[in-house]
């Protein structure tokens, strides 16, 4: 039964992997061939098609971490803790991508690498909260107290996610709001490229969380076996 389940999981994993790779290839074609160059910013605006979906993948990662942490605090099941760790790592990876690609675009669009705009600041804050989570979990084999404290930290970080999302609507700043704002929006080819990129990044985030969580479950199993050997 377990073997059949493993084979099924491997098949789903492979299917997701090939679908995501095909989606990325199509997305790159849509970005660089189909979508037009933006009139005012020029070619640098094409960073947008990876920058925004990366921010969305960051939400998925941090959201998964918060869900896993809440589950662990309620049930003390290592599977939930593995989801918490995997989500935090994947979310931090995409947060780093957002915080590095954003300034490259801003340099051209705003003339500066960084400005303390509400959306930029709240995104940096989320990255720092989950970096603290990962730093706490990387201090050797995490005990029960460290795991619970880190879970609380992930839930604290979750509070920042709506702040990031609504910061462009509630507070004054310079960050563009072409998708959710009341401006002119995007041209139809741009929407297609962005939509495909969103789907591709969703698949990628899910795959990475899955892979990282399975490794974390194996590490839990290793820790359990070590404990068993010590008590023999």
Partner 1 sequence: MRALIAAFVLGFTMLVAPMALAEDPPSEPGAATSDVPKDAAEERATQFVGVRGPDTESVPGGALLLAAYAIVWVLLFLFLMRIRGLQRHTAEELERLSAEIRASGSR
- Per CB under 8 A, residues contacting partner 1 are 41-44, 46-47, 50-51, 54, 89-90, 93, 96-97, 100-101, 104-105, 107-108, 111, 204, 208, 211-212, 215, 218-219, 221-222, 225-226, 228-229, 232
C-alpha 220/C-alpha 138 separation (Å) is 14
C-alpha 51/C-alpha 47 separation (Å) is 6
In whole angstroms, how far apart are CA 24 and each of 53, 107, 137, 201? 12, 26, 32, 8
73 versus 124: smaller Cβ distance to partner 1: 124
The least CB distance from residue 226 to partner 1, in Å, is 6
Provide φ and ψ at 38, rounded to 5°: -70, 140
The least CB distance from residue 108 to partner 1, in Å, is 5
The least CB distance from residue 142 to partner 1, in Å, is 15
159 versus 225: smaller Cβ distance to partner 1: 225
**What residues form DSSP beta bridges with 38?**
42
Q: How many CB atoms are located within 10 Å of the residue 18 CB?
A: 10
166 versus 210: smaller Cβ distance to partner 1: 210
Specify the 3-state DSSP secondary structure of 216: helix
The least CB distance from residue 31 to partner 1, in Å, is 9
Contact 46, 32 (CB under 8 A): yes
15 versus 43: smaller Cβ distance to partner 1: 43
């Amino acid at each position: 039964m377990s073997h059949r389940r493993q084979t099924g999981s491997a098949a789903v994993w492979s299917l997701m992997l090939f679908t995501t790779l095909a989606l990325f290839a199509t997305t790159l074609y849509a970005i660089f061939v189909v979508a037009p160059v933006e009139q005012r910013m020029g070619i640098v605006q094409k960073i947008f098609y990876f920058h925004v979906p990366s921010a969305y993948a960051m939400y998925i990662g941090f959201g998964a971490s918060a869900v896993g942490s809440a589950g662990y605090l309620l049930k003390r099941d290592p599977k939930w803790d593995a989801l918490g760790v995997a989500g935090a790592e994947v979310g931090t990876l995409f947060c780093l991508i957002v915080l590095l690609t954003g300034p490259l675009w801003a340099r051209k669009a705003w003339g500066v690498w960084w400005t303390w705009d509400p959306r930029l600041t709240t995104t940096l804050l989320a990255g720092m909260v989950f970096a603290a989570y990962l730093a706490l979990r990387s201090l050797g084999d995490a005990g029960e107290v460290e795991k619970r404290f880190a879970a609380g930290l992930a839930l604290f970080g979750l509070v920042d996610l709506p702040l990031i999302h609504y910061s462009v609507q509630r507070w004054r700043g310079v960050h563009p709001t072409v998708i959710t704002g009341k401006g002119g929006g995007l041209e139809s080819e741009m929407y297609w490229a962005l939509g495909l990129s969103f789907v591709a990044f969703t698949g990628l985030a899910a795959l990475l969380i899955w892979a990282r969580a399975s490794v974390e479950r194996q590490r839990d199993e290793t820790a359990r076996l070590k404990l068993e050997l010590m008590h023999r």
